[in-house]
Amino acid sequence: MEKNFFEKEVKRISKLAYLKLSEEEEEMKMIEHFRKMYKFVSRLKEVDTRNVRMLIYPHDRVSLRMEDDIPREGISHLDVMKNAPLTFKEYIRTKSPIKEAKIKEKQAE
């Protein structure tokens, strides 16, 4: 694989993960890390899996025990509201995930 491929991937993934790779040395470490991962995954292609039965579910040979769904007394609404960091009337208030994502996006640029 060419060097440009790994550089582009490191930049793309670091942007998606909101990572700032400020120093060139850190970026080079990530590129080397990607090379090693690619080499490892490429080696998996060499494994002969023709006679291996596909595993659809990891628990296909284990019986799962389901518990009965029994209604129980829960926490009162008042207690929940007391533990909430922000409230508005009878609702729990949170930060907007959309606004937070936009702020992080601007910081990454």
pLDDT 10s digits, 13-30: 888 888 777 777 677 788
Q: Is 72 helix (H, G, I), strand (E, B) or coil?
A: coil
Residue 94 has pLDDT above 80, yes or no: yes
Residues 6 or more apart in contact with residue 86 via CB below 8 angstroms: 92, 93, 94
Cβ 93 vs Cβ 81: under 8 Å: no
pLDDT at 59: 67
Residue 1 has pLDDT above 60, yes or no: no
What amino acid is encoded at 38 in this protein?
A: Y
Give residue-wise pLDDT tens across range 44-58: 888 888 888 877 776
pLDDT at 2: 63
